[in-house]
Amino acid sequence: MPRHLSTFLILSVTLPLRAAELPPVARWQLDRGHLTTRSIRPLAGRLKAAFTGPIKFSTNRKSGPTGTLELSGQSSPRQRFQVATDIGRASAILPTKQLTVSAWLRIDAAGEWSGFVSAVQDNGTYEKGWILGQHLSRFTFALCSTKTGKLTYLESPRLFETGHWYHVVGTYDGKRQKLFVDGQLQGESTAQSGPIAYPPKGVVTLGAYEDDNEYYPLVGALERVSIWDTALADRDVQRLFQQRSRKFPGITATRPQVVDWPTWNRDNQRTGVSEQPLKLPLVRQWTHRIPAPSPAWPDPARQDFWHRKQDLRARVTYDRVAHLVAAAGRVILGHSLTTRCGAWTWPPGRLVWTVTADGPVRLARQSPEPCAVRTRRRACLLRISGRWPPPLETTRCAATSLDRRQPEIDQRLAGQDRSVGRIRNRVLLRGVFPTQGVTRSLSVSATVPGLATNRLTVSAQGYLSRRSGRLFVTTGRDPAGSFVAELKRRGKGVGRELSRLPDDYRFAFVGAGDLRIGGANGHVAAFDRRGEKQVWSADVQGRAWSLAIAGGFLLSRLTRDRCRPWPDAGRLATSP
């Protein structure tokens, strides 16, 4: 045998294909080009996906690949893509030792459950198989092995945004189960081990979560589904996303472009997570004392006798403390009792300026945009920055105009004692009770108000947030908020991350790099990103309702009238 030929053969053995280049055992392309009479022709494997129900294809190139099948999620007539009505006949494409399942999809509306691809039975205590889907606006991957006989559900910590494309992948190597979103690891578990346990009967379905007694379809689009009989490595999942992401406009999330902590929960998406890392341990630097706030609404009753409920938690929490805002070397606080808004330096906590309103200041201001504060009978607009007014200057919030060319115009807004006005995304809400008038105003800039105004039918109380190209506002005791208006699309957001910390840390939740920090009654603690391991803690006096991260500091606001910053010990090492 020639020498060069033997060398080639040796290399072909020692350099196997990368996992991402291995052919899948099954793959379906759900578009016009692969639709036969009433089935989807597979790109890999022998099993077609039988199709029933109405057919509709996408035509808008801006929303993704054209010709992709649109899924309506309607119950009658029902769309259904069944790979096998008998799960036993699908054994050739259902791995038992290792698994990777991948789906490229867009969700237009999210119910409690929906599936992308499933081979599962989850009927009470009987749990078998696996499913890739979503639960309550969080991507999920569930799997059952012979070891446990129970499904382990992995859920992404962040809420997804409707109307955008995602790449969701679940892997299992026989010992570790993982969930990926857009090439990034979102969760993992070692609860399962050994072969995958499949139910003796059931169906294999695309575009829905289906078992014997449940059917939860996807509403949106499912472009491609692939199954491997091996667990792809993390880098191979990332490579899969990078290879095909250009086919899907806007699939890469747009992160908020902010510095420090310029508004409540850092940005208008209310992510509450900063990319700025904190180096542990943190050391207390300074404490500022202010009087206790005066909340707009009382706590719920200790007991609801008629409904047999007790120890009810407060749900209106936006003004339990003056939430922290920090930017450009300033910490800015408003107060509902002193009716003041002031700025302090960090370090060492020196007062720079104060502004006095004639009523409670209940919500954190947004820097450097205009600020709206509560007056005694009205809401008043202020335009202030970190450097204005001059040091220790006190001014009254009187007839302040947004238009500097017409300072005599009174820009106060009618309201009630408990109303809160805020400017978010150049949007101002005014009023509390719909029967007495609640309106939304939109302006191009702070000097050109009145671009759009409409009347609302909800009681607007609390902070505004932008989600999936829509504007939401907190409505009293409903923290999820209510839809206010459509906004111009700015790309896919990163989504709000939900806390996975222990229940004791329910008062505040923020993130810094790979750390997640929670506020509890009597202490503040930092955990790893998955919320499983505590890596730092500090005792405080009272409940830590507000946390912020800026300039290497962790800032906390407590119910016992204190504001405390913990600086990065590597930068400002001091004794406690």
Q: What is the CATH class of 18-247?
A: mainly beta
Is the CB of residue 71 less than 8 Å from the CB of residue 205?
A: no
Query: Are 180 and 237 contacting, i.e. CB atoms less than 8 angstroms apart?
Result: yes
* 266 has pLDDT over 70: yes
Three-state SS for 44-89 is ECCCCEEEECCCCECCCHHHCCCCEEEECCCECCECEEEEECCHHH
Which of residues 445 and 343 earns the better pLDDT score?
343
Which of 168-182, 241-255, 438-452 holds the top average pLDDT? 168-182
Length of the chain in terms of residues written: 576
In which residue are the tokens 């035509």 written?
A: 59
pLDDT higher than 60, residue 378: no
Q: Tell me the range of 319-328, 449-458, 533-542 where mean pLDDT is highest.
A: 533-542
Q: Lowest mean pLDDT of 13-17, 105-109, 298-302, 486-490, name the range.
A: 13-17
Residue 352, phi then psi, degrees to nearest 5: -105, -50
3-class secondary structure, 299: coil
Residue pair 366/263 in contact by the 8 Å Cβ criterion: yes
Give the neighbor-by-neighbor strand order of the sheet with 330-334.
Answer: 325-327, 330-334, 340-345, 351-356, 394-396
Provide the b/e sequence for 46-57 (b: ≥16 CB within 10 Å): ebbbebebeeee
- Best-predicted range by mean pLDDT (369-373, 428-432, 475-479, 501-505): 501-505
pLDDT on residue 77: 75
Is a pLDDT exceeding 90 seen at residue 245? yes
**Domain spans of the chain, in order of start:** 18-247, 273-567
Could you give the 3-state DSSP secondary structure of residue 463? coil
Q: Tokens at residue 193, please?
A: 């081990």
Rounded CA separation 345/414 (Å): 34
Residue 173: exposed, middle, or buried by beta-carbon count in 10 A (0-12, 13-18, 19+)? middle
Residue 256 is predicted with a pLDDT of: 79
The pLDDT assigned to 409 comes to 38
Q: Which residue has the higher pLDDT, 513 or 229?
A: 229
pLDDT at 24: 97
522 against 14, higher pLDDT: 522
pLDDT tens digit sequence for 165-206: 999 999 999 999 999 999 999 999 999 999 999 999 999 999
Indicate if the pLDDT at residue 414 is higher than 60. Answer: no
- Does 82 score more than 80 pLDDT? yes
Tally Cβ neighbours within 10 Å of residue 269: 21
Report the chain's mean pLDDT, rounded to a whole number.
Answer: 77
Is pLDDT above 60 for 231?
yes
pLDDT at 576 over 60: no
Greater pLDDT, 525 or 283:
525
In CATH, the number for domain 273-567 is: 2.130.10
Contacts 24+ apart (CB under 8 A), 429-433: 429/456, 429/460, 429/464, 429/473, 429/484, 430/379, 431/456, 431/460, 432/459, 432/460, 432/461, 433/459
Residues 309, 310, 314, 320: what is their CA dihedral angle, to the nearest 10 degrees?
170
Across 77-97, average pLDDT: 91
Q: Sorting pLDDT into bands at 50, 70 and 90, what band is 484? A: low
Report yes or no on whether pTM surpasses 0.75: yes
Q: Which two structure tokens, joined as six digits, stand for 20? A: 């991402």
pLDDT tens per residue, range 523-547: 999 998 876 789 999 998 888 988 9
Across 539-561, average pLDDT: 84
Do the domains 18-247 and 273-567 sit in the same CATH topology, yes or no? no
pLDDT above 70 for 8 = no
- Which range of 166-180, 239-253, 355-369, 457-471 scores highest in mean pLDDT? It is 166-180
Q: What is the pLDDT of residue 556?
A: 87
Question: pLDDT tens digits, residue range 111-151?
Answer: 899 999 999 999 888 999 999 999 999 999 999 999 999 99
In the chain, the percentage of residues whose pLDDT exceeds 90 is 37
36 or 428, which is more confident: 36
165 within 8 A of 64, measured Cβ to Cβ: yes
Instruction: Report residue 85's pLDDT band, with 50, 70 and 90 as the boundaries.
Output: very high
Higher pLDDT, 361 or 9: 361
pLDDT above 70 covers a percentage of the chain that reads 71
